Structure 1
């Protein structure tokens, strides 16, 4: 496979994983609908940086080491699961409040850190990275190709989260969210809770 073909195969595999509805995409969409484009973009930037960190881990071979260390991986899964449950609690609490009395959201400066923590606390991201990179890379692949493929995937991550933030901060989505806020927050709380429990359970399974 040519260098372009390899990079394209990896990028396509990563794109499918990146755009799929998951905790990170659901979170940035909810932030954008509730608080607008700027907070959504800041949150998405944090998610992107966190995802990039896992990309570097996978590309440098540390992902294999992490997977082999069951103790460290289990701790990361538990931490990530607890963070998702905390997000579920926040969304659930917001769903219980009537219009005009929503839970206070973090200051703008904190949106980036919320997004960063969300993806850094998800060790499954490194598994997704390794799966995407394995689509075209082999032991004979040189470092430049690995670096190029990783950079392309990182760019896809940034574009994906920015796309979610921009799309869901459009007036139509924001007005729809205001009308259905309690239902949407309740649904998001349930999704986060399921994801959190699933991640914690996986930490104790072999």
Structure 2
């Protein structure tokens, strides 16, 4: 049980740390309210759980042994993050607020956001390695749903905190600057994934 708790704590730290997912939760909460944040969180949790199941089944090792698939996933994920950066950048340049997208769109955005990050399977692989007792490898299948629950709880806490009236009022005043910051973060994360993919490709096929 202690090993399992260590794995959960490790995963909680990763999920709570600033990154594209946390930025998406915070900006969604401030711009669209808690309901949209719940939908976004459920989408992200579903995608994350999918990566977790693959990791528990040993897909991390398979992916590491298949560089071409990993390169493709990194580049596609990077392109999606750049697409998010483009959307946030357009919002930053728009002087009108516009109508908020439907809740289904928030769910879909969360699903695609975490599906676009192949590094998730390696984070899961590390968490399972840390949090699964050597003499009870079957507990990896228990760790995955527990970690998903921790993830949902963390994101909902962020969402609740940033969907309060004062935070939403601050967002309305600083919307363009905050959207510009989100655009920069998504863009940097996307370029980082694409760079990793291209570096992997270059190492496999170095120039003569």
Residues of 2 paired with 1:20 and 1:48: CA distance? 16
**Which residue of structure 2 lines up, in the alignment, with residue 121 of structure 1?**
116
Give the 5 Å matches for 1:1-20.
Answer: 4-20=1-17
Residues of 1 paired with 2:152 and 2:107: CA distance? 13
CA contact (8 A) 1:63 1:127 kept: yes
TM-score normalized by the length of structure 2: 0.91
Larger mean CA deviation between 132-141 and 80-89 belongs to: 132-141
**Which residue of structure 2 lines up, in the alignment, with residue 77 of structure 1?**
74
Residues of 2 paired with 1:68 and 1:34: CA distance? 42
CA apart distance, 1:172: 1.4
**Which residue of structure 1 lines up, in the alignment, with residue 187 of structure 2?**
193
**Which residue of structure 2 lines up, in the alignment, with residue 24 of structure 1?**
21
Give the 5 Å matches for 1:109-188.
Answer: 109-137=104-132, 140-143=135-138, 145-188=139-182
Residues of 2 paired with 1:49 and 1:163: CA distance? 18
Residues of 1 paired with 2:168 and 2:146: CA distance? 31
Gaps of 5+ in 2: 201-208
The count of aligned residue pairs is 200
CA RMSD of aligned residues (A): 1.4
CA contact (8 A) 2:41 2:107 kept: yes
Residues of 1 paired with 2:98 and 2:88: CA distance? 9
Residue 91 (str. 1) matches residue 93 (str. 2): no
Residues of 2 paired with 1:87 and 1:32: CA distance? 16
CA apart distance, 1:151: 2.0
Residues of 2 paired with 1:146 and 1:108: CA distance? 32
CA apart distance, 1:184: 0.5
CA apart distance, 1:40: 1.2
Residues of 2 paired with 1:138 and 1:34: CA distance? 42
TM-score normalized by the length of structure 1: 0.92
